[in-house]
Amino acid sequence: MFWAIIGAVVSFSVADANPVYMLLTLISVLGCWFGSVRPARPAPRIAINTVLLLVIAIAAVEILRVGVGVSAFAVFTALLLSVKLLDLRTARDDAQVLVLCLSVLVAAVLTSNNFITGLLMLVESVLLLRAFVLFQLHNVVSMGAPRRARITKPVRVDMRSMLVATGFACILIGGIIFVVLPRNIGGPGFDQWGGSRSVSGFSDSVDLGRPGMISMSTKPVLDLTLTDRNGMNIGAENTTPIYLRGAVLEQYQQGKWRRGSAMDMPMAER
């Protein structure tokens, strides 16, 4: 489970290009792991509840300040993850930690789709799948055997075979879903929640150097019909191409393009 946590944090940090998030979260996770999880010394309940209320308060302030977004969600999840590592008492607590890791991985998917992020998420998927299998095995063993049971070599071989088979089944099902379902399903909801910086379109400002690839938007920009004096359509496919200027950003400062002061009407209102 330890490496699954580390992999999830690193995946989102690379996707969001946020080394500060990675540094602070890793320090918190390592401190909680070696201070509480490894020696099996959970923190007192009153301390856990106090810190949890503080985390909720921080999340509420952050939402009021910048709104709901993937980055704010990832920060909130990292705080919950650190708190939960201080309170590992039962198998249910372990399952909640794995769900939080999965949530961070989903946040990474919504943030960026570049090659490095995809490679990290592939590695994290393997680590997370292994953690889930070990969790199920530990949960079953702990019901009728001592807490620490030795895993023999035949059991390890069977586990590897099960992991390979499960991973292949997940890839097969995911591939079928990717081919069958339309690409724009869920776009109006997830695109807005994940941020519009990775989708093409019209805007009053453009920030250069943001992470992630630019995806083509399927939202119509303009419906235009051009006719001559006789009412004949002069914008058909077999006529001379007509080029329209859609947006002009005139001011550049510190990696950001903005519309000029002469353009007094926002593009969204035109």
Q: What is the pLDDT of residues 3-60, one digit of tens each?
A: 888 888 888 888 888 888 888 888 888 888 888 888 888 888 888 888 888 888 887 8
Q: What is the pLDDT of residue 234?
A: 75
For residues 80 and 100, what is the distance between their CA atoms, to the nearest angstrom? 8
Residue 73 pLDDT grade (very low, low, confident, very high; cuts 50, 70, 90): confident
Q: What is the pLDDT of residue 270?
A: 46
Averaged pLDDT for residues 151-157: 72
For residues 103 and 63, what is the distance between their CA atoms, to the nearest angstrom? 18
Q: Which two tokens stand for residue 102?
A: 């999965």
Round to the nearest angstrom and report the end-to-end CA distance of the chain.
52
What 3-state class would DSSP assign to 206?
strand
* pLDDT over 50 at 145, yes or no: yes
Averaged pLDDT for residues 174-190: 63
Torsion angle of the four alpha carbons 141, 147, 148, 154, in this order, in degrees rounded to the nearest 10? 0
Closest CA to 249 of 234, 268, 267: 267
Q: What is the pLDDT of residue 196?
A: 44
Residue 80 pLDDT grade (very low, low, confident, very high; cuts 50, 70, 90): confident
SS3 content of the chain, % helix, strand, coil (to 5): 60, 5, 35
List the single range of 92-96, 131-135, 182-186 with lowest mean pLDDT: 182-186
pTM, whole model, 2 decimals? Answer: 0.60
Buried-exposed string 216-245: b where 16+ CB fall within 10 A, e elsewhere: eeeeeeeeeeeeeeeeeeeeeeeeeeeeee
Delimit the domains of the chain by residue range. Answer: 2-149, 198-270
